[in-house]
Amino acid sequence: MECEEKIEKLLNIIERVANGEYERDNWRGILDSVAELFEADVAAIGENREGYVLYTKLSSYADRFEYYDPDKFKVPLWRSALGEAIKRGYIIVNDYQSYGKAVEEWRRLGLKSVIVAPFGDRNVFGSLAIGRFREGKPFSEEDGKILKSLAFIFSFIIKEDIEKRKLLERAIKDHLTKLYNRFYFEEEGRRELERAKRYGYPLSLIILDLDNFKQINDRFGHQKGDEVLIKFAEVLKKSVRKTDMPVRYGGEEFLVLLPHTHAEEAIKVAERIRKNFAGVAFRAGMEVFRLTVSAGVASCDLPEDCNLEDLLSKADKALYMAKKEGKNRTVVFSHEGIG
């Protein structure tokens, strides 16, 4: 690519970023142009999440990947090419297949060469990367310096986006368990019920309450109680689908809203949660203890006849019966009675 053409493409990218074009398609169009600028196959933007960079924004070339999950292809912040890039602002690896710090998933995918430029200096919060999956001319130092400049420009927008998302999460998620909170459930739950009415699909709700939880706080203190709540939240998230809504409703009470789910399926989910949690052992000093959970299930097979308050009330009545019948069980509400 001629120098003048390269400068023109670079200025075009900067102008489109300044005009907010990235908001239309999660950066895809911009990243397509970045890949074209460097005669690369793919361009990607990654975010630092707990010491790993996950590439969540990719150019169109990524559609060719048979299977791509950002979590499976995450890159260690320091034990990788990115770690070396942090020291000088970018790194060029023209033989990724034999590179000592290559991430195996990317190597297996066939990545041949890459340039990585971090967002931020000491506090790295992500990176901009380009790569080739075919043999070709090597990336140059000039390419590295240009990518570093683009990363500097992109970084302001990415950082602002991350900060906005963090503020939103604080508003809708419980600070201890990181599950959705009551406010989010009441707002989004009503919207989900409206969607169910519009499209005619069933909806179920599970209310779960940790059995004898107060005894844990009384015997071992609130710190141990918090540990139990955090662990239960982990079990809950692993036991439900991504389309379900796990919620900490208050104290030791939790909810799961399950779209496209009949009562029979919801009972299976509740039982899976109950059994998974029953297998968790906790330690307090020399003592090892386990907890159980009770669950109440209510469903709307005909959503037009339901509202969120009624669904909550029915599931709560089912939970009450589960407690009354001896705890550590699942009870479902039915119009013929609770059973």
Catalytic sites, residue numbers: 252
Gap between the Cα atoms of 293 and 149, Å rounded: 54
Which DSSP helix (H) or strand (E) runs through 72?
A: none
Cβ neighbors of 201 (< 8 A, separation 6 or more) are 259, 260, 303
Cβ neighbors of 158 (< 8 A, separation 6 or more) are 45, 47, 119, 125, 126
Q: If you search the block for the tokens 């604080």, which residue do you land on?
A: 170
Cβ neighbors of 224 (< 8 A, separation 6 or more) are 216, 217, 282, 284
Is 194 within 8 Å of 206 (Cβ atoms)? no
Gap between the Cα atoms of 128 and 44, Å rounded: 6
Q: If you search the block for the tokens 């361009």, which residue do you land on?
A: 43
Instruction: Give the number of other Cβ atoms within 10 Å of residue 278's Cβ.
Output: 13
Gap between the Cα atoms of 32 and 62, Å rounded: 10
Is 202 within 8 Å of 300 (Cβ atoms)? yes
In the chain, what are the helix, strand and coil shares in percent, each to the nearest 5?
Answer: 50, 25, 30
| Strands 245-250 and 203-210, sheet pairing | unpaired
Pure H helices in the chain: 3-18, 22-25, 28-37, 81-88, 104-109, 141-172, 182-199, 213-220, 222-239, 263-278, 308-324
